[in-house]
Structure formats: structure tokens, C-alpha cells
Amino acid sequence: RKEVEQDPGPFNVPEGATVAFNCTYSNSASQSFFWYRQDCRKEPKLLMSVYSSGNEDGRFTAQLNRASQYISLLIRDSKLSDSATYLCVVNGNTNAGKSTFGDGTTLTVKP
């Protein structure tokens, strides 16, 4: 089993749709969690951190469920510019500093 698993995708949605991605992780001692976005032929970039209380940034909402060991990302009112691959990232515990990336979920928003 992979340490971090994501919805395989791809997701093809019309503009304005709401789309949700899920991610599960296997290490219960994981400390920090992120969603990254990667555009085609570009490097991954941080989209948002994920906090236990959940957090929102405009149209994007991230949730963490430690008991079930999953993370979610909700995108509301999707735009064409949201088309990208979304990567779930889990950081190790103690001082490991190791980031483990999921394989990513590809989103295509169509007019």
C-alpha cells in the first residue's frame, strides 16, 4: 500500500462545477499536510496547507480527518484556470522532514 493515495482521476468538469478530491495516508503519526498544484510541464507549487480545523481560501476548502487519516480538497465554482494536477502531500513525524507526495489527480475544467 502506498503511503499517500489519491483519487486516480482524471476529473473533467464544466466551469462553475464543484469538485472534491480525497487523499488517504498510512502513517498515523504524520504531522503536516498540504495540497500542491502542478501545471503541465511546471514544478509543483503549494496551493494550501491543511489544518485540523479545516481551512478555506477563496473557492478552495481543505479538510483533515486524523481519525480516518484522510485529507480532502473542495473547489467551488471551478474556473478554466483551475485545470491542473493536484497533489496531496504528507510530512513525516519527528524531525524527519520527509514529504511524501501522492500521485496526483488531474482536473480539467471545460467551458
* Cell numbers at 70, concatenated: 484522510
Binding another protein by CB under 8 A: which of 18, 26, 52, 93?
93
Binding another protein by CB under 8 A: which of 55, 69, 100, 108?
100
Question: Closest Cα to residue 73, out of 92, 59, 53, 94?
Answer: 59
Binding another protein by CB under 8 A: which of 87, 88, 90, 107?
87
Stretch that binds another protein, among 14-22, 52-60, 65-73, 100-108 (CB under 8 A): 100-108
Distance (Å, whole) CA 88 – CA 96: 18
